[in-house]
Structure 1
Amino acid sequence: MPERRQGPSVVRGDLVPKSTYDQRLLDRKGPTGWLHEDPWRVLRIQSEFVEGFSVLAELPTAVTVFGSARVPPDSPDYELGVRLGAALAEAGFAVITGGGPGLMEAANKGAMEAGGISVGLGIELPHEQHLNDYINLGVEFRYFFVRKTMFTKYACGFIALPGGFGTLDELFESLTLVQTRKVTSFPVILMGSDFWGPLLDWVRGTLAETGKISSRDVDLLSVTDDPEEAVRIVTEAARRNGDR
């Protein structure tokens, strides 16, 4: 039987809608009744911000970890995610992920098994994706932009494990926030030099060399294969920012 989470609710069977809240919010081609309801949607969006702020406000200093949902547990990347989550927890950081399977699950698993606080921020998708089993605190969101705000507001740094479009979206959005100084003293770390190396070559060799970004912008990214090195980078940044 089909099932979908919708914020705090669960719907099954024939009650599962054919579109998501995000789709309906962004759709301008449907009946005009949807457009006239947009002002009322603001109240639902507001309630998601309030719920997220109230649930996450008392977290200790946290790090947000991004990564692919499609990586199996027997993958070396999954093991890297577990080691990263454990290292962050042992250093006293809460670990925030998107709450799904794959590398999100790996980071949550490492954090939970190391005795840390493991957080998952889920999202309503057309094909249901449940929160993984290694989460101490889980929040389900309807709207991507609300969820992205929570990823940033309650973290002192981002770490990107190998991933696809979702990970790239979150990576470049975080870099834009740092580049424009919407967030400050905020490290962005890429875990997995073999995976991220070609992207970095393009950033240096195409974006920077053609003037699309400045040479200083390249330095906003750190790359490592060592979880302990990643923890050192975020710890030093947190201390500079007064978070530790």
Structure 2
Amino acid sequence: MKKQLLYFSIFFLITFLATAQDEDIDRSNSPFAEPRYHYFLQTILLYNEYLDTKNGSYNTTNLRVLQPIGNKAWNLRFDLPLISTNSNSINQTGLGDVGAGLSFIPYFKKTSGIGLRTRVISNSAADPSFGTGKWVVIPAGIFAKYFNKKKFLWLATVEHSQSFAGSSNRSDVSVTLLENNLLWFFGKNWIATDVGFRYNYVLDGFQNNAFMEFGRKITPTNLFYVHPSVAFGGEKSYNFGMEVGLLVLF
């Protein structure tokens, strides 16, 4: 019942804020128009993430497409992951859990803004080891703010992942994430730091991680980044990781 009230509250908030959207605000001056996290342009993101775990390695090659709709305050997202696992006993490659999402930017101005997002991750993996075995809904709220004449951008995210269907033989998914991402822009480059506190209710423990990111604009609409990370917490899901990505904006 509590979870149903949470989802209803999020839906009500989205509906209410949709009526308050100001059509006259210049989107190009808002924090959500920063190329690294652009919500108002068509975007293709291709990245490869390698994770070292206690049972071997886990590699994800993901194609993400972002498509603005309507007045561009709304944004569709699609994720198509290809997963590879490598352990002492078996190596496998196949399709992971395909995901889709909807984002809405109800409020923004030149230095700050609020975003809402809901994603659904399907139980579509080609092999049980490539996914959770569950259908998962992930509502989230995002606060963005520029500092020091737009040299720094802070993105704070609260997100909850909750399974609602899928294999009865697999563990439920119930995880809350509080994430803080700080980006520093200089010239065509940026450096980002992030700490994510992630609590897994099923395991009754923390699966936190932290990363640094080094990125550069190759052209005004093409960006490249390198993103090493490390996990910490009593129930961490991996040891360390490395992500490399390419963004193309249209």
Q: Same fold (TM over 0.5)?
A: no
**Which structure shows the bigger proportion of residues in strand conformation?**
2
- TM-score, structure 2 length as denominator? 0.25
Q: Which has the higher contact order (CA 8 A, sep 6+)?
A: 1
Which of the two has greater helix per residue? 1
